[in-house]
């Protein structure tokens, strides 16, 4: 085997080896008459304030509000990083599959090229054995001129076949070179996305650790009052949303697939949030919605940002149970509308899948997976 063969086979083998927020649903969401109790609402404002250098809060409500804003900022940053991680993870899986497939094509192409070379070698040896004299001399020396002429015809056919064989070898070599080039490019993309995943993972862990440290500095009664502040912020946002009269316009009925998606999502209530998780024991926000729709027979993008980009948009007043509400200007959170002004969602680290008011966070828009 030549050095070119060895390098292609080695590359193929190397590639293969390397790849080897409110508590319960009900009329509380449709009416702002009283807040529904919850330990996990998400506040509307995007904070710019910090909780101070120590991060600890005194007994004063203003300090606790600063802590709430600081926590919200940290968890929002963690959510943004989680979306980046999920996107890189999805791309990495696809690119890994492409690299493996290209490696297989290289191995198959190499085997084909070797078979073609063997055939070409056999043809060359046969031609050598029959050569040495010009055609006129071989005709004159032949005992059977007719047989010679028939043989000469076969020789011409063989020459045409040899020419085709060489052309096929050239095409195979060209394909092998292209497969190798494509595999190299995909490998580079794969490495780039692995780096993005690692950077996003680091940021997620840093933000969550900072938030947990800040919360750990609070006294028990301060944590209770902080939870009340979070609840009040979510209730205030939901009340403002309902006060617009929007719920009177929302009367769409779920499709058959939408009902199945809602049934799946609500069956996960109480399971912990975990960034990057798609179930069945833990979920992040887009992991929950993508798996819910997968259970209904519809494959949708993995991340909330891609759900927003790729799925058909519908007006808020036209939404129906099963539709996905995308939150925040950067589309970094998603919940599933379940009717009566409520969503089911996986809120953030330290929380569980729960029911929340659909307007308790800033709505970017609504998408419909089965439109």
Per annotation, catalytic residue among 17, 160, 189, 345: 345
Q: How far apart are CA 47 and CA 70, in angstroms?
A: 7
DSSP code per residue over 3-42: HHHHHHHHHHHHHHHHH--BS--STTTT-TTSPPP-S---
| DSSP label of 245 | T
Query: Distance (Å, rounded) from C-alpha 53 to C-alpha 199?
Result: 26
CA contacts within 13 A on the Cβ side of 276: 14
Catalytic (active site) residue 345: yes
Q: How far apart (Å, rounded) are the C-alpha atoms in residues 196 and 83? A: 11
User: Residue 353: which of 240, 246, 264, 238 has the closest Cα?
Assistant: 264
Phi, psi of 363 (to 5 degrees): -85, 125
DSSP state of 351: -
Residue 313 known to be catalytic: no
Pairwise CA distance, residues 203 & 77, whole Å: 8
- Retrieve residue 209's tokens: 């650790």
Give yes or no: 17 in active site.
no
Number of neighbours of residue 287 by Cβ within 10 angstroms: 25
Choosing from 17, 160, 189, 285, which is the catalytic residue? 285
Residue position matching structure tokens 């989680």? 82
2: number of Cβ within 10 Å? 8
C-alpha span between 194 and 294 (Å, rounded)? 26
Cα–Cα distance for residue pair 324/298, rounded to 1 Å? 13
Contacts of 162 (CB under 8 A, 6+ apart): 120, 123, 124, 127
**Catalytic-labelled residue, pool 17, 160, 313, 333:** 333
Active centre residues (catalytic): 285, 333, 345
């Amino acid at each position: 085997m030549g050095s070119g063969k060895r390098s292609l086979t080695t590359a193929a083998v190397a590639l293969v080896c390397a790849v080897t927020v409110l508590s319960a649903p009900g009329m509380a969401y449709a009416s702002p008459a009283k807040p529904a109790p919850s330990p996990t609402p998400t506040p509307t404002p995007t904070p710019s304030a910090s909780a101070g250098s120590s991060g600890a809060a005194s007994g004063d409500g203003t300090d606790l509000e600063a802590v709430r804003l600081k926590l919200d900022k940290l968890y929002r940053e963690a959510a943004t990083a989680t979306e980046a991680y999920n996107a890189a993870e999805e791309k990495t899986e696809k690119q890994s599959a492409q690299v493996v497939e290209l490696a297989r094509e290289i191995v198959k192409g190499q085997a084909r090229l070797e078979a073609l070379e063997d055939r070409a070698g056999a043809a060359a040896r046969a031609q050598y054995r029959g050569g040495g004299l010009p055609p006129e001399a071989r005709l004159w020396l032949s005992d059977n001129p007719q047989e010679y002429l028939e043989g000469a015809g076969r020789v011409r056919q063989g020459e045409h076949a040899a020419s085709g064989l060489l052309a096929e070898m050239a095409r195979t070599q060209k394909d092998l070179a292209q497969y190798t080039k494509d595999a190299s490019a995909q490998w580079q993309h794969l490495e780039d996305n692995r780096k993005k995943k690692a950077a996003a993972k680091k940021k997620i862990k840093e933000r969550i650790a900072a938030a947990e440290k800040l919360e750990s500095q609070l006294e028990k009664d301060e944590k209770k009052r902080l939870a009340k502040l979070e609840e009040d912020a979510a209730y205030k946002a939901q009340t403002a949303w309902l006060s617009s009269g929007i719920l009177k316009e929302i009367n769409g009925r779920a499709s058959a697939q939408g009902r199945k998606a809602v049934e799946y999502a609500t069956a996960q209530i109480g399971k912990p949030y975990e960034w990057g998780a798609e179930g069945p024991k833990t979920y992040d926000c887009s992991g929950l919605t993508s798996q819910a729709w997968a259970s209904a027979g519809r494959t949708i993008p993995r991340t909330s940002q891609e759900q927003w980009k790729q799925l058909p948009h519908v007006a808020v007043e036209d939404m129906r149970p099963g539709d996905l509400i995308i939150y925040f200007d950067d589309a970094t959170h998603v919940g599933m509308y379940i009717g009566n002004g409520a969503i089911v969602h996986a809120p953030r680290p330290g929380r569980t899948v729960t029911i929340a008011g659909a307007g308790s966070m800033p709505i970017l828009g609504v998408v419909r997976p089965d439109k």
